[in-house]
Amino acid sequence: MIKALIFDFDGLILDTESPEFQAWQEVFGAHGHALSLDLWADLVGRPRTYFDMYSYFKELNGPLTDLDALRKDRRARVVQLVLEQPILPGVLNYLTEAKEIGLKLGLASSSGGDYVRAHLKRLHLVEYFDVTKCFEDTESHKPEPGPYLAALEDLGVAPRQAMAFEDSPNGVAAARAAGIFCVAVPNPITQCLALTHANYCLKSLADESLRQLLSRAAAADRDG
């Protein structure tokens, strides 16, 4: 029986992936370079420490690149774009329905805790979560299972008693490595990526109610 749900944040609760990619595309394009979706897709779901995009851009653009000015301008652009994003469809319904059913709620993210929790507070979602595990809370990060294992421990549930929601291949890999039934819900950036290693895939959380999904997971568990 499912006793807890564990959500990713970026690209799953809030589409921060598209603004990040758009802002970098604007930077690369303004200097006559191209940023491929293939490169970006490999970074989705990983911590920011995995790949230094600023150093990569400087290698392409030359040693005179002012990285301090670039960071300031790009960050401001990302903030502007993210603040325009609504909570993704179906998310609030799932959180509300989970509380009605009596499920525990966790969050496992590769992003920093201050960033994630600030957005959750701004969106009035922070009170829904019993546990939040972010970059600084674990030693290993997605696609390793560390964030999910830490969330499971604090929630006090076994892997088979949890369901994870992810938008990226790296996130799905982390949840599955932790032994958790994983539902992939791609965003505009990750919809072209292979998410077939998830147990189930939805185009949007608005496409199916939580109760329907729990019934599907229970049937899959019975079938072995």
CA angle 180, 183, 186 (to 5 degrees): 135
- Helices 67-83, 53-61: axis angle to 10 degrees equals 130
Beta strands in the chain (DSSP E): 4-7, 104-108, 131-133, 162-166, 181-184, 200-201
Q: Is 8 a catalytic residue?
A: yes
CA angle 115, 116, 120 (to 5 degrees): 120
Main-chain phi, psi angles of 134, to 5 degrees: -120, -175
Q: Which of 8, 42, 66, 221 is catalytic?
A: 8
Q: Which of 10, 42, 73, 114 is catalytic?
A: 10
Active site residues: 8, 10
